[in-house]
DNA sequence: CTCAAATATGTTATATTATAACAAACGTTA
DNA sequence: TAACGTTTGTTATAATATAACATATTTGAG
């Protein structure tokens, strides 16, 4: 089990960087940013990322292999995530839309599969890049 | 531009393997499978994969870094894709549901972004693994 | 047909992303 | 304290993907 409250030292360092970032961060760019803080190896980053994802503090943008802080309260422990991604400036915005989430959560594939989780990524041009 | 009809030799070889496969294939497993046919380098695989994706013949399952043949006619040139993915046996099934597709295609984020494309991945246990 | 452009191929090298494996330290709590 | 789970540190390596350059093949305009 993962306790909701306390983050370990490395987890806190990694989360801080991701939360401060304006856009999605890649694992190795996080690594380069924390070498001054005594974190030297990819494992240390990936372990922190894994735990933070489990806790729902961050999400992985699968199409970019990058990580963003969770800005929503709806996506409890990352069971239902949706993002809009600008194909020009790389901006990522977490979509927190109750209707969308409800619609997808109750969607059932006719082949009899019961879903536990979904991830949705929209692509386009953001307001600025349009 | 990509012409719809003819596939090049390497593209055809790669597509054949993906179409014959029961599940998603990874780039390097495709590579190992075609070395007898004179394809030796990852570049050759990735180039074929890129073109096949552009043509809508295959899709990339982002959460698995793997590729499946398109079984649908709805997802024209991969603008609107959805998959169900079994977390136990790795099975991937393309979801072709007109209502879902329409719902998501017309979904507009209130922050003013106009979407060109989406990809949706559902996770759970398939009928067999349930 | 002919030549130029576009597309596809082959090849070597390298970049990027992620995990394995092992040892030590730390924090509970029984 | 002893035992357990979790976190850390570290070295090595696996897996995924692209860069760069040379050549070949196909296509289509003139
Ligand atoms: Zn979230
Ligand atoms: Zn943008
Ligand atoms: Zn398809
Ligand atoms: Zn299954």
For residue range B72-96, list pLDDT tens digits in order. 876 778 899 999 999 999 999 999 9
- Residue ranges of domains in chain A: 9-124
Picking from A4, A7, A1, the residue whose alpha carbon sits closest to that of residue A19 is A7
> How far is residue B59's CA from residue B94's CA, in Å, rounded to a whole number?
9
The confidence score (pLDDT) of residue A1 equals 37
Picking from A59, A55, A74, A12, the residue whose alpha carbon sits closest to that of residue A37 is A12
Q: What is the crossing angle of helices B42-54 and B27-34, to 10°?
A: 120
Q: In this structure, which ligand is nearest to the CA of A86?
A: 2
The confidence score (pLDDT) of residue B75 equals 72
Show residues of chain A in contact with B78, CB under 8 Å: none
Beta bridge partners of A92: A85
Q: What is the mean pLDDT of residues B96-110?
A: 87
The confidence score (pLDDT) of residue A4 equals 47
Picking from A47, A62, A61, the residue whose alpha carbon sits closest to that of residue A15 is A47
The confidence score (pLDDT) of residue A91 equals 95
A57 touches strand D (CB under 7 A): no
The confidence score (pLDDT) of residue B74 equals 64
Q: What is the CATH T-level fold of the domain B9-124, as seen in this structure?
A: Arc Repressor Mutant, subunit A (1.10.10)
Beta strand pairing call for B114-125 and B80-86: parallel
Chain C bases having any atom below 7 Å from a protein CB: 7-13, 16-21, 28
Show residues of chain B in contact with A127, CB under 8 Å: 111-113
The confidence score (pLDDT) of residue B110 equals 65
The confidence score (pLDDT) of residue A78 equals 80
Q: What is the mean pLDDT of residues B99-123?
A: 88
> How far is residue B5's CA from residue A128's CA, in Å, rounded to a whole number?
37
The size of chain A, in residues, is 130
Q: What is the 3-state secondary structure (H, E, C) of B31-72?
A: HHHHHHHCCCCHHHHHHHHHHHHHCCCEEEECCCCEEEECCC
| Predicted structure pTM score | 0.94
Tens-digit pLDDT profile for chain A (130 aa)? Answer: 334 468 999 999 999 999 999 999 999 999 999 999 999 999 999 999 999 999 999 999 999 999 999 998 767 778 999 999 999 999 999 999 999 999 999 887 666 788 999 999 999 999 999 8
The confidence score (pLDDT) of residue B78 equals 82
The nucleotide minimizing the C1' distance to residue A50's CA is C18
For residue range B23-79, list pLDDT tens digits in order. 999 999 999 999 999 999 999 999 999 999 999 999 999 999 999 999 987 677 889
> How far is residue B4's CA from residue A60's CA, in Å, rounded to a whole number?
34
């Amino acid at each position: 089990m993962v306790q909701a409250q306390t983050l370990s030292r490395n987890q806190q360092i990694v989360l801080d960087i991701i939360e401060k970032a304006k856009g999605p961060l890649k694992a190795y760019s996080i690594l380069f940013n924390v070498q001054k803080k005594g974190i030297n190896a990819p494992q240390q980053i990936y372990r922190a990322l894994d735990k933070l994802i489990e806790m729902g503090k961050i999400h992985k943008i699968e199409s970019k292999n990058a990580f963003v802080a969770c800005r929503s309260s709806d996506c409890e422990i990352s069971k239902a995530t949706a993002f809009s991604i600008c194909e020009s400036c790389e901006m990522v915005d977490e979509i927190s839309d109750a209707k969308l989430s409800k619609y997808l959560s109750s969607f059932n594939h006719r082949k009899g599969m019961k879903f536990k989780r979904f991830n949705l990524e929209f692509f386009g041009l953001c307001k600025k890049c349009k």
